[in-house]
Structure 1
Amino acid sequence: MLDETVAHAQLPGIAMAVVEDGKPVFAATRGERIAGSGEAIDADTLFKIASNSKAMTAAVLARLVDRGVLDWNDPVVKHLPQFRMHDPWVTTQMQVRDLLIHNSGLGLGAGDLMLWPEPNAFTRQDIIAGLAHLKPVTSFRSGYAYDNLMYVVAGEVAAAAAGKPYDQLLREELFIPLGMTRCQAGRWSVRAVGNVAQPHTRRQGRNVVTAADAAISPDLASMAAGGIRCSLNDMTRWMQVLLDPALVPGWLGDTQRRALWTAHMPMPIGERQRRWDNAHFSAYGYGWRLSDMDGQWKVAHTGTLSGMYSSLALLPDRRTGVVILINGDAEQARTALMQAALKHYTAPGAAAGVLDYAAQLAAERDQRHAAGEVRPDTRARQPATAAATAAWQGRYVDPWLGPASVCMDGARLRLSVDKSPALRGTVMQLGSRWLVQWDTLGADAEPWLQVQPGNPTTLALAAIDPDIDFSYDYQDLHFTRSGDCP
Structure 2
Amino acid sequence: MRFLVAAAWVAVLTGGVAFEAIAAKTAAESRDQAVLDRIFDDAMERYGLPGMAMGVIEDGEVTYARASGETVAGSGDPVTPATLFKIASNSKAMTAAVLARQVDAGKLRWDDPVVKHLPQFRMHDPWVTREMQVRDLLIHNSGLPEGAGDLMLWPEPNHFDRDDIIAGLAHLKPERSFRSGYAYDNLLYVVAGEVAAAVGGKDYESLVRSELFEPLGLSDCRVGEWSRDEAGSVAQPHMRTDEGNVAIRVDGETVPAITSAAAGGVRCSLDDMLAWGRNWLVPTREQLRWLSSKQREAMWTPHTILPLPRRSREWDGTHIRAYGYGWRLADVDGEWTVSHTGTLSGMYSVLMLLPDRRSGFVVMINGNGSAARTVLTSTLLKYFTRRDETVDVAHYAGLLESDRSGAGASRVPDTSSRKPARVLDLQAYLGTWRDPWFGEVRLCRQDDDVRFVSSKSPRLSGRLMRVRERHLVEWDDSTVDLEPWVDFKPPGPGRSARMTMAKVDPDGDFSSDYEDLDFVRVGGCG
TM-score greater than 0.5 by the shorter chain: yes
Equivalent residue number for residue 105 of structure 1: 143
Query: Which residue of 175, 187, 208 corresponds with 2:213?
Result: 175
**Which structure 2 residues correspond to residues 169-208 of structure 1 after superposition, within 5 A?**
169-208=207-246
Q: Deviations over 1:3-44 (max 9, x none)?
A: 111111111110000011010000111110000000000011
Query: Which residue of 505, 508, 520 corresponds with 1:465?
Result: 505
- Is 1:260 equivalent to 2:260 in the alignment? no
Equivalent residue number for residue 70 of structure 2: 32
Tell me if structure 1 keeps the 8 A contact 2:71–2:366.
yes
Measured after TM superposition, the shift of residue 362 of structure 1 is 1.6
**Which structure 2 residues correspond to residues 422-461 of structure 1 after superposition, within 5 A?**
422-442=459-479, 444-454=481-491, 455-461=495-501
In structure 2, distance between residues paired with 1:461 and 1:351: 47
Tell me if structure 2 keeps the 8 A contact 1:19–1:322.
yes
Identical-pair percentage? 55
Q: Deviations over 1:354-403 (max 9, x none)?
A: 122112212222222xx333322212111112112111111000110001
Which residue identity is paired with 1:82? Q
Tell me if structure 2 keeps the 8 A contact 1:343–1:351.
no
Would you identify which runs of 4 or more consecutive aligned residues in structure 1 move more than 4 Å? none
Greater radius of gyration (CA): 2
Q: Deviations over 1:321-356 (max 9, x none)?
A: 110000011111001011101111111148621122
Equivalent residue number for residue 17 of structure 2: none
Equivalent residue number for residue 359 of structure 1: 398
Measured after TM superposition, the shift of residue 205 of structure 1 is 4.1
- Is 1:270 equivalent to 2:319 in the alignment? no
Tell me if structure 2 keeps the 8 A contact 1:373–1:466.
no
Tell me if structure 1 keeps the 8 A contact 2:496–2:520.
yes
Which residue identity is paired with 1:185? V
Runs of 5+ consecutive residues of structure 2 not aligned to the other structure: 1-38
Equivalent residue number for residue 19 of structure 2: none
In structure 2, distance between residues paired with 1:210 and 1:444: 12
In structure 1, distance between residues paired with 2:334 and 2:200: 40
Measured after TM superposition, the shift of residue 466 of structure 1 is 3.3
Which residue identity is paired with 2:447? G
Runs of 5+ consecutive residues of structure 1 not aligned to the other structure: none
CA 1:264–1:443 in 2, change beyond 3 Å: closer, same or farther? closer
Query: Which residue of 357, 377, 386 corresponds with 1:338?
Result: 377
- Is 1:302 equivalent to 2:341 in the alignment? yes
CA RMSD of aligned residues (A): 1.2
SS of the residue corresponding to residue 421 of structure 1 reads coil
Q: Deviations over 1:274-318 (max 9, x none)?
A: 001101111000000000000000001000001100011000000
Measured after TM superposition, the shift of residue 125 of structure 1 is 0.7
Q: Deviations over 1:116-142 (max 9, x none)?
A: 001111001100000000000000001
- Is 1:483 equivalent to 2:514 in the alignment? no
CA 1:337–1:133 in 2, change beyond 3 Å: closer, same or farther? same
SS of the residue corresponding to residue 133 of structure 1 reads coil
SS of the residue corresponding to residue 378 of structure 2 reads helix
Equivalent residue number for residue 367 of structure 2: 328
Which residue identity is paired with 1:366? S
Measured after TM superposition, the shift of residue 416 of structure 1 is 1.1
Equivalent residue number for residue 441 of structure 2: 404
Measured after TM superposition, the shift of residue 192 of structure 1 is 2.8
TM-score, normalisation: structure 2: 0.90
Measured after TM superposition, the shift of residue 319 of structure 1 is 0.5
In structure 1, distance between residues paired with 2:148 and 2:57: 35
Stretch deviating more after TM superposition (33-42 or 436-445): 436-445
Query: Which residue of 85, 91, 95 corresponds with 1:47?
Result: 85
